[in-house]
């Protein structure tokens, strides 16, 4: 089943709890699967957002699970604190981690899903042996740092190759894409093998964000076909 994770980078930071609730399901209507929390340190990327205290407050204010994407240096030092703050999934960048296997094991041992992200220029192949240590692999489809950028369709072959490696090893892990995911790009991502979709402006820029989430999920599931649904 396709999962849709709205990115709070496109939300109103003065009203985060309310923005989280706008994409949560209500009255039996399915909403977003996870809330994607963009953590930026102004070093790994040229933008600055939030840290563990905000994650902790969001955890208390909403029921939706938190998918924290750490676009920061020294994730080996800081990532465990995000699990303690209440993240259900923590993604660190391959380019920043000193010891990715040890870090993934620590995140899992603390009780969260462990995930690793690749910037557009970072290939998946050197990380093949590491995949069993992860619950999710994130292929960035824009340069990390800002919402609202154009989808890099030259990332589609990397999504396809990553899916092939996951299937080759018989892994249950998820394949996430992030950046420029919208009604006009999500089908290509799903066809290439992605099953978790981060969408910022396509959700929070819509008049009805919860309806945008449902429409994106429907498109992704139709594009993936019966092989990947349910």
Ligand X SMILES: O=C(CO)[C@@H](O)[C@H](O)COP(=O)(O)O
Q: Where do contacts with ligand X occur on this chain (CB under 6 A)?
A: 7, 9-10, 36, 38, 69, 142, 144-149, 178-181, 198-202
- Give the torsion sign (CA, 203, 214, 69, 16): positive
CB-nearest residue to ligand X: 200
* 33 has catalytic annotation: no
**Cβ 203 to ligand X shortest distance, Å:** 8
Least Å distance between CB 109 and ligand X?
26
Name the residue nearer to ligand X (CB basis): 123 or 148. 148
What is the Rg, in whole angstroms, of the alpha carbon atoms belonging to the chain? Answer: 16
Q: Which of 33, 41, 178, 195 is catalytic?
A: 178
Q: Is the CA virtual torsion 186, 16, 39, 25 positive or negative? A: negative
Q: Is 147 annotated to bind ligand?
A: yes
What are the start-end ranges of the H helices in the chain? 16-23, 52-61, 75-85, 100-109, 156-168, 186-192, 201-204, 209-224
Kindly tell me which of 31 and 147 has the beta carbon lying closer to ligand X. 147
Q: What is the largest CA-CA distance in the chain?
A: 45
C-alpha span between 214 and 110 (Å, rounded)? 32
Whether 38 is catalytic: yes
Give least dist CB 69 to ligand X, A: 6
Q: What tokens were used for 81?
A: 């604190």
**Selection from 92, 97, 96, 135 nearest residue 117 by Cα:** 92
Is 178 among the annotated ligand-binding positions? yes
Sequence ranges of the binding site: 7, 36, 38, 69, 145-148, 178-180, 200-201
Active-site residue set: 38, 178
Binding-site members for a divalent metal cation are 36, 38, 69, 178
Binding residues for substrate: 7, 69, 145-148, 178-180, 200-201
């Amino acid at each position: 089943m396709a999962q849709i994770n709205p990115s709070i980078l496109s939300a109103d930071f003065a009203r985060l709890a309310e923005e989280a609730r706008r994409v949560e399901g209500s009255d039996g209507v399915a909403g977003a699967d996870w809330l994607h929390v963009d953590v930026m340190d102004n070093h790994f990327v040229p933008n600055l957002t939030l840290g563990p205290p905000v994650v902790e407050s969001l955890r208390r204010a909403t029921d939706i699970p938190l998918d924290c994407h750490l676009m920061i240096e020294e994730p080996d030092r800081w990532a465990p604190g995000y699990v303690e703050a209440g993240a259900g999934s923590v993604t660190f960048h391959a380019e920043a981690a000193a010891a990715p296997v040890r870090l993934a094991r620590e995140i899992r041992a603390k009780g969260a899903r462990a995930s690793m992200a690749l910037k557009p220029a970072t290939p998946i192949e050197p990380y093949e042996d590491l995949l069993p240590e992860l619950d999710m692999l994130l292929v960035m489809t824009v340069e990390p740092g800002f919402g609202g950028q154009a989808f890099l369709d030259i990332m589609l072959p990397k999504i396809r190759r990553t899916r092939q490696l996951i299937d080759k090893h018989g892994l249950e892990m998820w394949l996430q894409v992030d950046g420029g995911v919208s009604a006009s790009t999500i089908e290509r991502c799903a066809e290439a093998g992605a099953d978790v979709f981060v969408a910022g402006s396509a959700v929070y820029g819509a008049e009805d964000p919860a309806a945008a989430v449902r429409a994106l999920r429907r498109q992704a599931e139709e594009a993936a076909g019966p092989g990947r649904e349910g």
